[in-house]
Amino acid sequence: MEDTLQTTTTFSFDGYRITEYKGVVRGIVVRSPTLGQGFLGGLKQIVGGQIGAYAEMCEQARQQAYDRLLQHARERRANAIVGLRYESSEVGRGGSATEVLCYGTAVVIQRA
């Protein structure tokens, strides 16, 4: 395989076999909205509709968590991650921040 890490939500790659398991890897990010995002989000809750600033913040948090997951896998000398999953939860007083967790199993794969 190339130098890039392959990822999948399944537990195998077509045409490849897992030759080594490197363990669970993860990336964690905790983000909170700015005062402006919080204010606009509060207004949107009153009138309804999508909260674009929150959606963008969440997408950035997911990407950062994914990037940290990849770094963790590289540190373990893996070339792939199987069973990729995301989870999120509110943290802080009154759910003032969101934790995004990206995790999976780091493996070494070779062409079958």
**Cα-atom radius of gyration of the chain, to the nearest Å?**
18
pTM for the complete prediction? Answer: 0.78
Can you list the domains of the chain with their CATH numbers? 6-111 (3.30.110.70)
Q: What is the pLDDT of residue 37?
A: 47
Structure tokens at 105: 């199993």
pLDDT of residue 48: 56
> What is the average pLDDT across 2-22?
92
Please say if the pLDDT value at position 47 is more than 60.
Answer: no
How far, CA to CA in Å, does 27 sit from each of 17, 64, 91, 103, 105? 25, 8, 16, 6, 12
Note the pLDDT tens digit of each residue in 71-84: 999 999 999 999 99
Which H or E run contains 31? strand 16-31
pLDDT band, residue 97 (cuts 50/70/90): confident
43 has pLDDT over 80: no
